Structure 1
Amino acid sequence: MGLNFRKSFKVAPGVRLNVGKKGISSVSVGGKGARVSVGKKGTRTTVSAPGTGLSYSTFKPHKTKDQKQAQHNNFMSSTNSSKPDWVVMGIVGFIILVIFIWVIS
């Protein structure tokens, strides 16, 4: 079993800086209902209903140079987009917007 280290610092209200053995591991923005974490491997978005234990989380890895080139080639050959992804992202965005407005007011 290896030695692990992780520490989280509150930078501002709703913003946390997470540090591990190899330096800054991620930055998290958000509160109890919605959070976006950007790390070395990708971006994780989490939406939850506080106090219920229900949550929905997605992970989107960062694109490499090869993936960007492949995506460009696929876009040139076909312009169809995946509708379920847009629906889920629309719902998540709406929930984040509602929670953001609720927190501000």
Structure 2
Amino acid sequence: MPIHYRKSFRILPGVRLNINGRSWSITLGGRHGPRHTVSSTGRRTSSMDLPGPFRYRRNHRR
């Protein structure tokens, strides 16, 4: 059975450092409104919670 690790640290208001077993990422933005994430693997994502059970996510390509 594999072991999974995930931890998130709040650095500043609206800035989080996320660490897992393979990479780390920085997330800018709060719970409400847009969020932008940049990963150590080069992945960039923008996301936003919409009213109701909807969610918006876009992956940016280099």
Interval of TM-score (by shorter of Structure 1 and Structure 2): 0.7 to 0.9
Aligned to 2:2: 2
Aligned to 1:25: 24
| Alpha-carbon RMSD | 1.7
Contiguous gaps of at least 5 residues in structure 1: 64-105
Report the number of matched residues.
60
Q: Identity percentage over the alignment?
A: 32
Query: TM-score if structure 2 supplies the norm length?
Result: 0.79
Structure 1 residue runs of 4 or more that deviate by more than 2 Å after TM superposition:
none
* AA at the equivalent of 2:24: S
Query: TM-score if structure 1 supplies the norm length?
Result: 0.50
Counterparts of residues 87-98 of structure 1 (less than 5 Å):
none
**Which of the pair has the greater relative contact order for Cα pairs under 8 Å at 6+ separation?**
2
Say which one has the larger Rg. 1
Contiguous gaps of at least 5 residues in structure 2: none
Aligned to 1:47: 48
- Does the CA-based 8 Å contact 2:50-2:56 persist in structure 1? no
Counterparts of residues 44-83 of structure 1 (less than 5 Å):
44-49=45-50, 52-61=52-61, 63=62
Q: Which protein has the bigger helix share? A: 1
